[in-house]
Chains A and B, each alone.
Chain A
């Protein structure tokens, strides 16, 4: 059981954020699904979203489609559909590339709100009941929240170099020994830059310590006799 415990962990990433308000975020799968499903070039053009972020939103939609197609062709998944395997395999090369014409492919995802009569929510409920798909939604939601925050800041803030609600520093400690520090460009020109960096250093040390403590506890549960 030991090696399974650490299977998905390739790095420990510690991010520091200064937020306007700390709120409890609730994850509702349907809400996230609906938010990403309707993202398209046409929709983004109509909305007031900042131009620099449009591509990032589109990537979310592409990845949702890709994840769903992969689940459709995976025999071990609940959503496996043998009849669609050959079609999907043809479309996969297009879907996996970021700048390809993936939007021209017709979507296989069910609509969040059925538009035709006599259609019910069973297809949507079925995919929202699959744990792997929900996991994908969870991760896409995290990225979408970050992009949404960034969009709010770009549109509303008059103060330059405002770093509220964005991760201004991130340290990644990888299993192979590499340590990668990432900083937001906005902090470079701020007068309180040193204080911010000090705060991040403190939170990295604490974060690493916390993670080690938790792993120690989990190992004590499964340790050998």
Chain B
């Protein structure tokens, strides 16, 4: 090996390894930017139509997908590349709230408030020769099991466009539904365990210092209290706290503003 100097790449005058690393990070940056753009595009297509029910609060009543031929082509490209897209936090909270509001869950918790209607996902297409968006496909899903798929006659008469629009419509819905369920990243119920530990520690400290028994009995008592506390908290949180939060999310103090709804779902996911 005569030449001990690292081989320099002519244009950048950097060693080859460094150049390749830079290229990789550039590619990563490009793919991240590309993903961000996809996310931005797709999230902007999803419109959560809201109905004003009082001066201060609005509830979602329909989900519209605003598409035109360009967006459809881009989405086809995205699907071919097997890319996923992530719902923005606003859309995610609104969609979760929309489903919760129309679900049979509400019936159990508040028999007075029996309003329940179907979920509506509608694709509004912008034809090149028209100015306005026209609803062409609609999926009406009733959470008691009745699903109706409606297709506009004009779209039915254009088979190629029909295929494309239907594929995109169903794909968007399935992408949304995949992201709706509450997930707890760490599989540990932080909320529950945190509560258990804090209350348990306080009681343990009290018993340790204020009870005058021998060490073994103290340890046994603390252990028994911990077990009892775990069962009690499980019962309380499962039966009452969760239903209380869901109740408030649907029509209580957590229902009015977007931030409060987001907070409510966050708490529920911590209890998951």
Contacts and interface: CB of A to CB of B under 8 A. Distances in A.
Contact of B152 (A19, A202, A211): A19
Nearest to B151: A18
A224 B242 CA distance: 10
A164 interface: yes
Contacts of A224: 238
A15 B96 CA distance: 25
B147 A225 contact: no
B5 to A, nearest CB: 60
Given A8-B144, A22-B135, A207 B149 contact: yes
B12 interface: no
Interface in B163-202: 166, 170, 173-174, 177-178, 180-183, 189, 192
Interface string B232-272: 00100110001100100000000000000000000010011
A18 B151 CA distance: 5
B156 interface: yes
| Interface hub of B103, B111, B149 (most chain A Cβ within 10 A) | B149
Contacts of B243: 1
Contact of A19 (B150, B268, B272): B150
A219 B105 CA distance: 10
Interface in A16-30: 16-22, 24, 27
A35 B54 CA distance: 29
Contacts, number: 142
Given A18-B151, A18-B156, A207-B139, A221 B145 contact: no
A225 B238 contact: yes
Given A13-B147, A210-B174, A225-B238, A217 B104 contact: no
A11 B145 CA distance: 6
Contacts of B119: 214
A167 B151 CA distance: 11
A207 B151 contact: no
A15 B149 contact: yes
Nearest to B114: A131
B173 A210 contact: yes
15 contacts: A12-B145, A13-B145, A13-B146, A13-B147, A14-B147, A19-B150, A22-B150, A24-B62, A131-B111, A199-B151, A199-B166, A206-B173, A213-B180, A222-B105, A222-B242
Given A18-B151, A206-B173, A217 B145 contact: no
Nearest to B162: A199
Given A18-B151, A22-B135, A213 B177 contact: yes
A179 interface: no
Interface in A167-200: 167, 195, 199
Interface of B: 62, 96, 99-100, 103-105, 108, 111-115, 117, 119, 122, 135-139, 141, 143-153, 156, 159, 166, 170, 173-174, 177-178, 180-183, 189, 192, 234, 237-238, 242-243, 246, 268, 271-272
B151 A16 contact: yes
| Interface hub of A15, A167, A210 (most chain B Cβ within 10 A) | A210
A220 B180 CA distance: 9
Contact of A203 (B99, B149, B234): B149
A222 B139 CA distance: 26
Contacts of A11: 145
Contacts of A7: 104
A216 B183 CA distance: 11
Contacts of B159: 195
A214 B115 CA distance: 18
B182 A225 contact: no
Given A164-B153, A211-B145, A214-B141, 4 more contacts: A4-B108, A22-B150, A223-B272, A225-B237
B222 to A, nearest CB: 23
Contacts of B178: 213
A164 B155 CA distance: 13
Given A22-B138, A164-B153, A210-B141, A17 B99 contact: no
